[in-house]
Amino acid sequence: MKYLTKYIALAAILGMIAFACTETPEPLQAPTPLSEGLLKSAMDGTETLGIPSITIAEGTGIAIGGVGLRFTQADPITIADADIPDGATIEQVLLYWEGFNSSASGDNQVTVNGTHTVTGVQLNNPTLFFTSGGGGPENWSVAYRADITGLGLIDPNVTNNIYVTDYVVNRPNGAGLLVIYSDGSNNEVAGVRDGDDCAYHAFAPTLDTTVPQIFSFAYHEDPRQATLNLMAGSVQVERPNVVRLQYDGGPPVDIVDPFGDIDGEDFDAVEIPLTVPGGATEMSVQCLSMQGSGGMTGDPASLVWICAALEIETIIEPLGCRVTGGCNDGRDTNTSNVYSCGGQAGAPLASPPQPWGNWTHTQHHGPSGDFTFHGGTPSAPEGTEIDWIVCSDPGWCRPARHAPAKQIDFGGVGTFKNMKNSVPASIRSHVIVGESLHWFEVNIDDLGEPGKSGDQEPDPADCDPLGYGRNGGTELGDCDCPDFYRIQIHEGPTDSSPVMYEVYGYIRGGNFQIHPPTGRDRKDQIED
């Protein structure tokens, strides 16, 4: 609803511009280019947006509003009732203000709602943007940010009017609010960028354009909805401008003329609804002083880009996943056992009555001797099966074949196919080969490639030596680690019986692949 409200307002304003018979606003005079020497002295490497110097709160949504302050400071920034869901929790409120001054000093203090004196942090160094025509004064862009969450000025259940006054510079372009909230939805705030980045197409580099900003987000194979929130000063009506997007370095997608005094003279705080393509994990954003195809004509805008923030839909992957593959030359540095493993879990097999996969673990030599254990194979006795599967994600490692998760834990009931005399009594005394039933649990992390055989250390130095998953040293894996495997076999047929055998480690040979579900998988849940 909040997107619709903003765009109805935008359409109304553009319609008035096109058809009104009354006097149109006088366009901004094209800035006079600075000399080459002045341009060089103005550029110090900070004329860009970036990650804020303060901690940005986590949340599920963003509300944004602005006000132009060039000719009056009597109008408010409005965060409407429809902008924030009723009952939402306000996580953070950031106030921005920007304007031009005849010197490199700005005004870092403003009054909010008549009683609150707010002191801001300067964003980047001031930028000498242009000189006024006819030998007029220099115009330095200076921008500030203040966290005003503690003032308690935003109520999600009502329309909020926030007045910014006592802002004293030669030309105060405007002020804006960025509100981060949580409403229990699956959306997330994928990042905030702020700064003071000036652009006018006719100026020499670097003042001819802005620096692209990158937002990263989790992979999902399906398209999803997002909202790009932007603040910019100095654009004015009928001055062409473009917001250019690129997903994963692909072809540009241009949003034409999103700015143009939307919130009053010289300031824009806009929400742009987007559909993020399926499979995308990165979006580049750039505000440009240029004409866009099918948009306004005339002298492109002189603009000051102040803020960008992305809200994106988080899609929960259908429930479930499955794993195929195996390991060889597995070595447990804790016990010195050497083992191999293989099979599939979470996929139906051709032979009943074990429709949810099977797993085979072979202990080759070491303190635990030599045996083969089967879980859920067609030839195993009745009652052996993979009983549950849980998928989780360690941080969206990029897989060879996209899957809904990169970790899988599964468990069930199995039996021993064979067992040699080298097996110690601590295991052998609980086993009748081919008859006794034993609970087992497996954890697999499809994180990277297996390690190399030979003299390479089996446990990478930067990876948790105890591994991951339900029984590991930490719950979620590390995407920079190789594939990991763990199995526990219990004395009896339930998970309440004691564990009599356990091995784990980063595999040296073989490979694990976690796949999307088949549609018949038997699962409990997916964990974020």
**Percentage above 90 pLDDT, the chain:** 59
Residue 497 pLDDT: 96
Please indicate, yes or no, if residue 20 is contained in any of the structural domains.
Answer: no
Is residue 345 very low, low, confident or very high in pLDDT (cuts 50, 70, 90)?
confident
> Is 334 inside a domain boundary?
yes
| End position of a domain, from candidates 312, 337, 353 | 312
Give yes or no: residues 451 and 503 share one domain.
yes
In this structure, the answer to whether residues 268 and 346 fall within a common structural domain is no
Residues 182 and 210 placed together within one structural domain of the fold:
yes
State whether 230 and 257 are in the same domain: yes
Match 């834990």 to its residue by tokens. Answer: 409
Residue 355 has pLDDT above 80, yes or no: no
**Averaged over 490-505, what is the pLDDT?**
95
Alpha-carbon distance values, 384 to 45, 89, 144, 377, 430 (Å): 65, 49, 66, 8, 17
* Higher per-residue pLDDT: 398 or 485: 485
Query: Of 472, 444, 476, 467, whose CA–CA distance to 324 is shortest?
Result: 444
Tell me how far apart the alpha carbons of residues 240 and 215 are, in angstroms, rounded to a whole number.
25
Name the residue with tokens 């295991």.
Answer: 427
Number of domains in the chain: 2
Q: Say if residues 191 and 62 touch (Cβ distance below 8 Å).
A: no
Copy the structure tokens of residue 252: 């540009």
Q: Is residue 457 pLDDT above 60, yes or no? A: no
AA identity, residue 75: D
pLDDT digit string, tens, across residues 418-431: 999 999 999 999 99
3-state secondary structure of 2: helix
- Is residue 502 predicted with pLDDT exceeding 70? yes
Q: Are residues 301 and 329 in the same domain?
A: no
Asked if 301 and 364 sit in the same domain, the reply is no
pLDDT of residue 135: 72
Q: Are residues 254 and 358 in the same domain?
A: no
Nearest to 269 by CA among 10, 1, 89: 10
Sign of the Cα pseudo-torsion (324, 390, 426, 415, in order): negative
User: What distance in Å separates the CA atoms of residue 317 and residue 523, rounded to the nearest whole number?
Assistant: 13
Selection from 372, 417, 411, 391 nearest residue 493 by Cα: 411
3-state secondary structure 498-519: CEEEEEEEECCEEEEEEECCCC
Average pLDDT over residues 481-510: 92
Residue 20: pLDDT over 70? no
pLDDT at residue number 386: 84
Choice between 37 and 4, residue whose per-residue pLDDT is larger = 4
Tell which wins on pLDDT, 405 or 182. 182
Pair (297, 341) in one structural domain: no
Q: What are 175-218's pLDDT values in tens digits?
A: 999 999 999 887 899 999 999 999 999 998 889 999 999 999 88
Work out the average pLDDT over 374-390.
77
Residues 55 and 176 in one domain: yes
pLDDT (0 to 100) of residue 21 = 31
Q: Is residue 39 part of a domain?
A: no
0.85 surpassed by pTM: no
What single letter denotes the amino acid at residue 150? G
The residue among 312, 334, 369 that closes a domain is 312
Q: Measured between alpha carbons, how far is 310 from 216 in angstroms, rounded to an integer?
A: 10
Question: What is the pLDDT averaged over residues 362-376?
Answer: 93
| Number of Cβ atoms within 10 Å of the Cβ of 26 | 8
Q: What is the pLDDT of residue 15?
A: 37
Residues 405 and 462 in one domain: yes
Sequence-ordered alpha helix ranges (H) in 75-150: none
Does residue 373 sit in helix, strand or coil? strand
For residues 333-361, average pLDDT: 78
- 307, 222, 230, 262: which is closest to 11 by C-alpha? 262
Q: What integer best gives the mean pLDDT of the chain?
A: 84
Q: Which of 286, 312, 338 is the last residue of a domain?
A: 312
Same domain, 380 and 496: yes
Q: Is residue 25 part of a domain?
A: no
Residue 167, both tokens: 């802002």
Instruction: Quickly tell me which residue has 């302050």 as its tokens.
Output: 69
125 and 217 co-located in one domain: yes
Q: What is the pLDDT of residues 155-176, one digit of tens each?
A: 999 999 999 999 999 999 999 9
The first and second tokens of residue 144, run together, are 């500030």
Q: Check pLDDT > 80 for residue 35.
A: no
Q: Bigger pLDDT: 420 or 20?
A: 420
Question: Under a CB-based contact definition with an 8 Å cutoff, are residues 264 and 67 in contact?
Answer: yes
Residue 19 falls inside a structural domain:
no
Q: For residue 257, tell me if it sits in a domain.
A: yes
Alpha helices in 20-90 (DSSP H): 36-42
12 by DSSP, 3-state: which?
A: helix
pLDDT of residue 518: 59
| Domain assignment of residue 86, given as a range | 50-312
The whole-number pLDDT of residue 364 equals 95
- The verdict on residue 439 lying in a domain is yes
H-helix segments, 307-465 = 425-428
Q: Percent of the chain beyond pLDDT 70?
A: 81
Return the beta strands (E) in 183-281 as ranges.
Answer: 188-199, 213-216, 224-233, 242-247, 253-256, 267-276
Is residue 21 included in any domain, yes or no?
no
pLDDT of residue 63: 97
The predicted-structure confidence for 287-328, as pLDDT tens digits, reads as follows 999 999 999 999 999 999 999 999 999 876 755 678 888 998
Does pLDDT of 382 surpass 90? no
